[in-house]
Structure 1
Amino acid sequence: MSFMDSKFSKWGEVETAVLSQSLAKRFARVMLAAVLAASFLPVAAFADTGGDSELKGIKGKTDPIFWYEITSYQNLTERSSYDWSWEKDGETGAITVTETDDPSRVTVTGTEIGSVILKVSGGDLDEETIRIKIRKRTVRLSSSYGEKIYDGTPLTVTGINEDGEGWISADRDRVKYTMTGSQTNAGESDNTFDVEFPSDSEEYFKEHYAITISYAPLNVAQRPVTLTSASGSKEYDGEPLTNDDVIVGGTGWVDGQGATYSFTGSQKIVGSSENAFECIPNEGT
């Protein structure tokens, strides 16, 4: 920046200072930019009413509310009276509006899927509105995980986990679950289940709920069984030394199951060898 003319006192103070024309223009632009920047500070907006103040409009959740979710709405405009109403925004959508002790506040319950417009008027002021979308309730159903060591009996796990917005209370007892998952042999399979709706209400449930189903696994681990042949000893007598006994260890055979053993182990001369045998599982083992 430059000054066209400046006079200083002996103490170094500016006595007169005349801004150059270019400096004055720059200063004006800087000040103008600051004014514009200040004018673009964000303000809160609560509704699609076109209001320019955070003290106007309807405050509340717009998208989404879920079917039969109860949500609070408040008109922030100071009216002498509050008249609440609503209309469909399209062909579908419905709500119930319930007044509260505070006339500026109501609760809304979405009773049909779709879109509605909540309105408030009164007090010789313009009507204000807010658009509300009512969505399907999400219901996530899943089975539980199960595991065990093979014991010859089926592994089943009952009980269904519910997550999401869930069923409304009037529908919860109308939905039936039937477990179909079962795993008997060693291995893994899905813990499946069926969801049954009343025969006359299946379309109703499909229209009002977004349902997802997932299956946890059923895992049957192999049963550990250890088979050890028995040992034996004797003085040499020219006859083969054998021992047909088997020691069963680990968790052992399941009741009613087992095996037969065919021994090949034999020691005739002085020395030692393994008492080898073959395991032949019984039928169904």
Structure 2
Amino acid sequence: MEEFPETVTADHTYVAKFVRNFDDPTHKITVNPYDDEYDGTAHNVTVNGTIDGDVVTYSTSEDKDSFKPADEFSFTDFTDGEQTVYVRVQNGSAEIVKPSYVNITKKTITVTTLDATKVFDGTPLTNANGANVEGIIEGETYDFKVTGSQTIAGESSNNYTLTFAEEGNEYTAKAMNYEIFEDLGTLTVTKQSINPEDPDDPSSYKNVTVNNPSDVTYDGNSHQWKPTVTSGNTTLTEGTDYTVTYSTTDFTNVTGTITVTIKGTGNYRGTVTRTYQINPRAITLTSAGGTKTYDGTALTNGTVTLTGELVDPSDITYRATGTQTEVGSSLNTIEVNYASDQMRNNYEVTLVTGTLTVNAAPVVPDDDDDDTPTTPTTPGGGEGTGTTPTTGGPVAAADDDADAEDEPEEEEVEDEETPLSDGEEDVDEGKTPLAKIDVWALINLIAAIITVLFGLILLLSKRHKNDDEEDEEERQARIERGEEKEQEQKRGWICKVLGVLVAIGSVVLFILTEDMSLPMAMTDEWTIWMIIIAVVELVLLLVGRHWKDVDDDEEEQAQA
């Protein structure tokens, strides 16, 4: 029977059959999905509304043979989205299948590395300090290493490696279950300065050295100096580590100071300058001198001696041009010609000139002036021959004696005139006995004139009125000043006398030391003495004027 009667009687046998009603609101089957991040444990959907006798199985498909009991069916790892789960509930002949899902998302972990900075030194910059991984499920194993490295100037991330479980290792943490958030530091290598006095960042200098050039002498070759830049034991490379520029393109000729600018590049920074120059080549040209006795023709000497060496014989040509015809001396000047204006700069020429001297010719007496002695005639001797007759022979011997006397006279005259032909004697030396050089000094003349002027001012300055010009009251005032005034007058006269003497001494010293017939120069060895004398004269003038002012003041007071 399908239904029980309202009244049950004893004479009947009733059989009851229980059938599960899944639509019964009081025991309705519901399934809750699982949706959460990975936590390392197994998870499944949750079935609600089961009663005793209900058998619950699970499957990821509707295939009846694929359903498994709960202890054989679960999800632990990341599901990569919602994974459909079918739940079958059976009770007797009744069953129901409900769909649901499991969604396990990745767990976020944080990897942290720190910053680091240094100046370039050619070695890698690394920093593992403070690095860590946060968020890995406790108990799971993995490998973590900081691998960041920066060697050249620049910056990069302080990277790492994180090794999860995979075939061939014993780690248990699975990469699929984690989402990695990176908080990575930066490794920064700054450029090293080549300038020991870097104005922008002094700390960036780490003992880079740049050698120094040396000056060279002009030799016709190119002298383009190449710097050597070193850092420790490492020689840096031009074009890679530094660049070089020059202030000129001419490295052969004398052009003045050459500035070399070395500028860091690549891993280096900063600027260093070096200077050098090509110096003129020194040579000396010496002209020969000469001496002869005046004969009306020019005395010359074309010999010029070169001391040193020309790079090319055509660089400089030269010749002696001095000439002296009249009695006296002059320099055997040298004419120098250069192949170009540049060659004038390339050489430093010192001229040493010889002296051409023409001496006065010796004085030779005329024959008409010879006083040849004659023997007076003997009275009564008739036409005499100028000889005294002697018995027994001619008188020619007397003429021989006369000739013999003439020859010593000529020799004696030549001996007396010889000093006039000595080319080494300078007749003008007697005019300036203290002069030692062949010039006179303009400053000495000016100092002498100033000294004389100071002396005249001092001498002519009026110290007090004459007695004839004073009235009786003024005369009385002077008497009252007494001896003190007399002493001041004496000192004033002493200053005047000394001033006159100093002025005279200045003139005398100038006359004795300067020959104004010689070439002029600005100073000589006597200049300092002439200046000292002028200063002394100035002091005497100032002192004398001071005493005059004192007298004038006292006279005004007396008149008042």
Q: Please confirm whether the aligned pair reaches a TM-score higher than 0.5, indicating the same fold.
A: no
User: Which TM-score applies when normalising by structure 2?
Assistant: 0.25
Whose RCO is larger (CA < 8 A, sep 6+)? 1
Structure number with the higher strand fraction is: 1
User: TM-score w.r.t. structure 1 length?
Assistant: 0.43
Greater helix content: 2
